[in-house]
A = this chain, B = another copy of it.
Amino acid sequence: MNGYTGKILRVDLSEGKTWVDEMPESFYRRYLGGNGFVAYYLLHEMPKGVDALGPDNLLIFGTGTFTGLPIAGAGRSTVGAKSPLTGGYGSADVGGFFGAELKQAGYDGIVVHGKAPEPVYLWINDGEVEIRDASHLWGKSTLETQETIQEELDDKRVRLAMIGPAGEKLVRYACVINDLRHAAGRTGTGAVMGSKNLKAVAARGKARVPVADQEKFRELSRWMVENWKDQHWGMHDLGTPGGLMGLNAMGALPTRNFQDGQFEGAEKITGSTLRDTIMTGREGCYACPVRCKRVVEVHEEGMDIDPIYGGPEYETIGSFGSNCGVDDLKAISKAHEICNATSMDTISAGMAVSFAMECFENGLLTTEDTGGLELRFGNAEAMVALTQMIADREGLGDLLAEGTDIAAAKIGGSASEYSITVKGQPFPMHECRTRHGQGLGYALSPTGADHMHNFWDDGMANEPLGETFQELGVYEALPRHDLSPGKVRAYMYGSNWQWVHNHLGNCMFISWSRDQMANIVSAMTGWKTNVWELMRAGERGVTMMRAFNMREGLTRDDDRLPLRMQSHFVSGSVNEEPIDPEVLEEAKETFYAMMGWDPETGVPTEAKLQELDIAWVADQLK
């Protein structure tokens, strides 16, 4: 085609050896990157039914097509594995700098097999690869790990993807932390990393990511330089928590473990409050001028927060804040710091705390269980303390480290009603009773409840409908409380495009139009591509993930919403409607059929796999 190609690094930790896949150009064009790579390797190379925390699981780092290009949005990459939290397809997106560095070091991805006999880290230095001892790093925080590794490699510019103690201790929602401030948060890939005795991947690369058409690329790049402030100043100024008050007004701010959608303390934890109080700086990802990430710093009696870990994003503020009934930004930021230091997903950790709080409020847990913590909604100190206990697997934290589904089963009684999960993964901070398309997305996401790839865009409910929806073939606004086929198709198109963001390693917050994204791919690779081809790649990716889940034994029944979504908010309705499970079942069938999956079982049909040019996947489903 155009000579665009690259390398995938293979590492077998059991054998202590590494090798390289040089894949043909069609591999890159077909799968692009990110979850495209992850799904390919998980399906193609990993046998069915392996233990997610055993040596046969694969841990995969995948950059996207854009990753490492000097443009806004191109700082993202993906970490994937079979998930110890869901038992199915595990993956998490992450920003920061590691992904770009990995690509500049010569690799589009890493596939990690096996388990090291002793703790190790991987050192990738401009194409050279070394498996190095990490015994001295085991048990260390991410900060200590980074400092030590940068010191021993004598290079402050080494970028790291790593785990802290939570990953080592196999907290089922341990995450991978990049550069201290960026989390590949969801589905427990940090636990998989821990199970492999892999403490970190360190990368340093001096090569520029090659661009086939520099002139075209510069033109696109210039456009963003000239336009980003118009588009993204709010995001720069307030970060992701900038939208918190809007969500609260809409009734979409998860509150007290999803009992409500509005939080009386919302104003105390919103983006502008953060900016005007403990925020001391802004940070961003590789090559991005927007710098939407927050840096917070606190030094006062009983509370020190190190700015090195950055600061909380909206999801973190929601999960430890409103969702725990906590209106204290310092406490929230402390919980955030704990999570980044120990490598825990802030969403799942916050949701574990809120789950425990609801159990406590209902007498299913007592101070005996909590080690004396008065685990009531709004108790900021208890929230912080329990977060640390989870990371340490201490006391009740040990149980909660298994995830709220397992914990609920152990606790018994009505506890399972308080576990707000899909496929074992807790909801992110977007209430779906105010917008049923989001609920459909949670139910259908291959990774369990997820806000990255299955995001329902509220704009679809607004007249006049924005042009970004119209170009998806949605010509009329769609009511929020609706799961009719019209909603299902709009969701399907929208989520397929979300997967494109992931595959390209592009940040969905950056306002490249779809055509511009296709043009960036063209400029970089030399391929003459278009939105259609990219959309098909997104569809291909999610179909592979679906196939993986089906192979691993998940079924249609796993595409269900927690019971709570069938009832009203506790404090009365605010733009919300419960989601009728029968309506959801119908919508699921419609979605399966529209995707070319069996309408009854949701298993991708052979014809669809053939149409997506991945007929080989059918063998995995036999």
Contact B607 A599 (CB under 8 A): yes
Cβ of A423 under 8 Å from chain B: no
Contact B530–A30 (Cβ < 8 Å): no
**For A223, what are the chain B residues with a Cβ–Cβ distance below 8 Å?**
none
Tell me the smallest distance from the CB of A609 to a CB of chain B, in Å: 9
Docked complex Cα distance between A1 and B15 (Å): 61
- The residue that A471 contacts in the complex, of B465, B489, B529, B610, with Cβ under 8 A, is B529
Interface size on A, residues (CB 8 A): 47
A219 smallest CB distance to B (angstroms): 14
**Chain B residues, Cβ within 8 Å of A303:** none
The verdict on A475 contacting chain B, using a C-beta distance below 8 Å, is: yes
Binary contact track A72-113/B, C-beta < 8 Å → 1, others 0: 000000000000000000000000000000000000000000
Q: Say which residue of B25, B29, B530, B599 sits within 8 Å of A530 (CB atoms).
A: B530
Q: How far is the CA of A537 from the CA of B613 in the complex (A)?
A: 22
Selecting from A5-13, A203-211, A280-288, A589-597, the interface stretch reads: A589-597
Q: Is the CB of A531 within 8 A of B528?
A: no
Contact indicator B613/A489 (Cβ below 8 Å): yes
Question: Using a CB-CB cutoff of 8 Å, which residues 501-539 of chain A contact chain B?
Answer: 513-515, 518, 527-533, 535-537
The number of times this chain is found in the oligomer is: 2
In the bound complex, CA of A514 to CA of B532 (Å) = 10
Which residues 10-35 in A have Cβ within 8 Å of B in the complex? 25-26, 29-30
A473 to chain B: which residues have CB within 8 Å?
30, 533, 536-537, 613
Q: At the interface, is chain A mostly helix, strand, loop or mixed?
A: helix
Q: How far is the CA of A584 from the CA of B25 in the complex (A)?
A: 31
| Given A489-B613, A594-B611, CB of A475 within 8 Å of CB of B530 | no
Nearest residue (CB) in B for A593 is B607
| Distance between A18 CB and nearest chain B CB, rounded to angstroms | 29
Closest to A2 in B: B467
A486-B613, A489-B613, A613-B489 known; A530+B471 contact, CB < 8 A: yes
A475 and B613 contacting across the interface, CB-CB below 8 Å: yes
Q: Interface centre among A25, A527, A611, by most B CB within 10 Å?
A: A611
A331 sits at the interface (CB 8 A): no
Which chain B positions have C-beta within 8 A of A485?
Answer: 607, 610-611, 615
* A46 CB within 8 Å of chain B: no
Q: How far is the CA of A590 from the CA of B531 in the complex (A)?
A: 25
Specify the chain B residue showing the minimal Cβ separation from A515. Answer: B530
A158 → B minimal CB distance (Å): 37
Chain B positions within 8 Å of A38 at CB level: none
A533 CA to B536 CA in the complex, in Å?
Answer: 12
Kindly state whether residue A237 has any CB partner on chain B within 8 Å: no
What residue in chain B is nearest A485 (Cβ atoms)?
Answer: B610
Contact B532 A530 (CB under 8 A): yes
**Contact of B1 with A464 in the complex, beta carbons under 8 Å:** yes
CB<8 Å pairs between A and B, sample of 5: A471-B529, A475-B613, A515-B515, A590-B607, A599-B607
Listed from nearest, the 4 A-B pairs whose CB atoms lie closest are: A593-B607, A485-B610, A530-B531, A26-B475
